[in-house]
Amino acid sequence: MRINDVVTNDILLNELLLGDLKVLKEKVKNISKKNFNEIDIIADLFRIIGHLLGWDCLDGKFYRTPIFYQSKEQEINLYNNRINKKPVGLLEAYYRHKIIKQLFADGKSYEEIALIFNISIRSVKSYEKASYLIESYEKKL
C-alpha cells in the first residue's frame, strides 16, 4: 500500500491512515445496503484529509507538519504529463527559469523577483535552481 511507502518516519500517522482506510473500505462495501448513509463516507474522507494535513486529535491543534517532496524526475514528468498545462507547464517553467537567472544577473534580489512574478521567494529559489528544466525542455525540441 502506498501509505507504507510514503509514511515511513511516523508510525502513529501510518497506523492512523491505515485504520482510516480500513474503516472507509468497510463502509464502501455497505453502499448497496438500505441503511447506508453517504455522509459517513464524506466524513471519513474529511478525516483522512485532516490527518494528512496534520490534525490528529479533536482539539484543533496541529500535531504534524506535512512536507511534500518532489524529485527532479517527478517534476519533469509532471510538467510533461499534465492534462491541463495551466498555470505553469514545462515551457512556462523553462522561461521563468531563464528570466529569473537574467534578473539575478541584472542585480535583482529574491524579493524583487518574487514581486515581479507574484510568487513566493521559495518559488523563485526553486526556479533559479531548476536548470534541469532547460535540459528537459530542449530534449523535447
Please write the tens of the pLDDT for every residue from 65-111. 888 888 888 877 877 776 655 545 677 788 888 899 999 999 999 99
Q: Over the chain, what is the mean pLDDT? A: 83
Element (H, E) at 3: helix 2-6
Task: Say how far apart CA 109 and CA 51 lie, in whole Å.
Answer: 38
Residue type at position 14 = N
The pTM (predicted TM-score) of the whole model is 0.55
Domain ranges of the chain: 2-53, 72-140
